[in-house]
Amino acid sequence: MKTLDEIREQCIKSQNNLSSITQGYSAETLEKMFKKRVMKHTNKAMKYFWASFTLQILVYGLLSHVIIKSWMDVPIMLLGFGGILLFIPFTVMLMKKFKALAKASMTQSVGIDTLHDYVLQQHTLLQSFYTFKKRYELLLIPLASAIGTILTFQLFVPGGALENINGVFIAFGLTVFSCLLAIIVENKKSFEQPLKQLKEILDEFKGKE
């Protein structure tokens, strides 16, 4: 994959214009090559969006099943509704940012002269969702883990949560710990690495200004 410097060198050799044709490459071809390089990084985040959305649909389905099955059991029903309400803001923001990132990625032509703005838009959208994700997960992870743990004990363990309080705390701690480990790994792969790589591309522009 050609770097920004190589693309610029090809363009500068012909009339010092970023939109010129260079060594058999048209401006449109150079643009596509550059966007392909950018998309290689943003696609990692796109995969996270799809996986996360699928997981949330599964959570909504399971909680809805619990609510319907335990309609006359008020505590369980309230926990089910609480779990759904907890995830809704995250799902809404997830889809909003995914739509914006996908729309930007599918733009047919941004023009050689505005490639910097294109990369900056990708970086800004991704950074915006990542910041929201990290903050919201401070609330989401402990509350979702608590709801999941209590529901599990209430539905499947004799005596429920109150008669197995030690087991509840142990299960809750293990759940939070495992979720945090998974999130750290996922954040690095789907957000921190792509953001770092997009920042490096932006720095290449600054180095040539």
Q: What is the mean pLDDT of the chain?
A: 82
pLDDT at 168 exceeding the cut of 50: yes
Q: What is the pLDDT of residue 24?
A: 46
Q: What is the pLDDT of residue 26?
A: 56
Domain layout of the chain by residue ranges: 27-207
Compare 113 and 119 and report the one with higher pLDDT. Answer: 119
Q: How far is CA 74 from CA 66, 142, 162, in A?
A: 11, 22, 16
CA 108, chain centre distance (Å): 23
CB 129 within 8 A of CB 159: no
Say which amino acid occupies 101: L
Q: What is the pLDDT of residue 21?
A: 37
pLDDT at 209 exceeding the cut of 80: no
Express each pLDDT in 68-96 by its tens digit. Answer: 999 889 999 999 999 999 999 999 999 99
The residues, ordered by sequence, that sit 6+ positions from 148 with a Cβ below 8 Å of its Cβ are 83, 175
Confidence at 112, pLDDT banded by 50, 70, 90 = low
CB 84 within 8 A of CB 64: yes
Please give the average per-residue pLDDT across 193-204, as a whole number: 88
Please give the average per-residue pLDDT across 31-58, as a whole number: 82
Measured CA to CA, the distance from residue 108 to residue 74 in angstroms comes to 53
Express each pLDDT in 11-26 by its tens digit. Answer: 444 334 444 433 445 5
Burial 68-99 (b: 16+ CB within 10 A, else e): eebeeeeebbebbebbbebbeebbeebeebbe
Q: What is the pLDDT of residue 19?
A: 42
pTM over 0.75: yes
Long-range contacts of the stretch 52-59 (C-beta < 8 A, 24+): 52/94, 53/91, 53/94, 53/95, 53/98, 56/87, 56/90, 56/91, 56/94, 59/83, 59/87
Say which amino acid occupies 125: L
Express each pLDDT in 126-165 by its tens digit. Answer: 999 999 999 999 999 999 999 999 999 999 999 999 999 9
Q: How far is CA 2 from CA 10, 33, 83, 134, in A?
A: 11, 7, 47, 33
